[in-house]
Amino acid sequence: MSNLNAEEYKTFEGIKHVQENGTEFWYARELEKVLDYTEWRNFQKVVDRAILACKNSGFAVSDHFVEVNKMVEIGSLTKRKVKDLKLTRYACYLIVQNGDPRKEIIALGQTYFAIQTRRQEVQDAFNQLDENNKRLVVRGNIKQWNQLLAEAAHNAGIITDNEFAIFQNAGYMGLYGGMTVSDIHAKKELKQNDKILDYMGSTELIANLFRISQTEEKLKRDEVKTAAAANNTHYQVAEKIRKAIIEMGATLPEDLPVPEKSIQIIEREEIHKLRNSKKKLMLDE
């Protein structure tokens, strides 16, 4: 076991609980501390997004996020009752996927709680979603794969922010017929701080997810070691995806319609719906 894996194992195994029937679970408030969140209201936002992701994945939220009441000590003599959540491993996985990617412990948690066996079930449920929720699901997957791609690019020699910007442009140029990030941003008529991935429909997002995941795998498989080679790899992978789109007679990504609502707006709307549903599972403390 490597040092990284040992650290992951120790950190998250240390707060794991096991029921009499052998079922594993974690408490949200204990996970909050391990993931380096100092205020519950900030961590609750992450939990809300995880619950939404669970719903969109086709699983019963109540199977993975179970409300419980716990007594906690306030000072040396006083105790009070607080709400908590019992989380399955899948619920923890969704939480770390929606956590602050700048935190190293979040990256450790993403590795620890990864669930590969769910892929087919998620795909089946995905086909039943409406367009907005499909966008939410794919955008979440892209966040995960972009982190893996950034790591693979770094290992291949992409070190500085400027080098990574060039690397990203290479991929977009291959997929979008020579258009850079700035070109795509302008074509979509977005505001300065808008992210182009947040204004893509599900079809366009899926094309980009394929670009990202296939580039990450090829960088590792070919053991790419220079920035120039990494840029070329990203461009070539994306260009092949574009050629496949052309051969199928499908609409090119730059010609797909731009959604009216951003991913952030859709996410807020869906979380609001969950908060106001009859089976309310959000914590108010």
First to last CA, the chain: 39
β-sheet bridge partners, residue 65? 87
pLDDT at 3 over 70: no
- In tens, the pLDDT along 4-46 reads 445 555 778 889 899 888 888 999 999 999 998 989 989 999 9
Asked if 87 and 28 touch (Cβ cutoff 8 Å), the reply is yes
Residue 114 has pLDDT above 70, yes or no: no
Domain shared by 142 and 257, yes or no: yes
Question: Residue 216 falls within a domain, yes or no?
Answer: yes
Nearest to 239 by CA among 160, 171, 152, 154: 171
Pair 3, 44 in one domain: yes
Say if residue 237 is in the same domain as residue 185.
yes
**Do 159 and 204 share a domain, yes or no?**
yes
Print the domain residue range for 67: 1-112
Please report whether residue 120 resides in a domain.
no
Q: Specify the pTM.
A: 0.63
Share of the chain above pLDDT 90, in %: 59
Distance CA 33, CA 162 (A): 34
Domain contains 123: no
Same domain, 170 and 251: yes
Give me the number of domains the chain comprises: 2
- Shared domain for 135 and 246, answered yes or no, is yes
- Residue 145 pLDDT more than 50? yes
Give me the pLDDT at residue 74, please.
63
Q: Are residues 104 and 134 in the same domain?
A: no
Question: What is the pLDDT averaged over residues 75-103?
Answer: 83
Cα torsion 78, 80, 86, 87: sign:
negative
Res 254: pLDDT: 97
C-alpha radius of gyration, the chain, whole number: 21
Q: Do 57 and 104 reside in the same domain of the chain?
A: yes
- The answer as to whether 46 is a domain residue is yes
Residues 134 and 99 in one domain: no
Residue 170 lies in a domain: yes
| Residues 67 and 198 reside in one and the same domain | no
Same-domain check for residues 241 and 179: yes
Which band of pLDDT confidence, cut at 50, 70 and 90, is reported for residue 125?
Answer: confident
| Least confident piece of the model among 96-100, 171-175, 229-233, 264-268 | 96-100
Residue 40's CB is within 10 A of a number of other CB atoms, namely 16
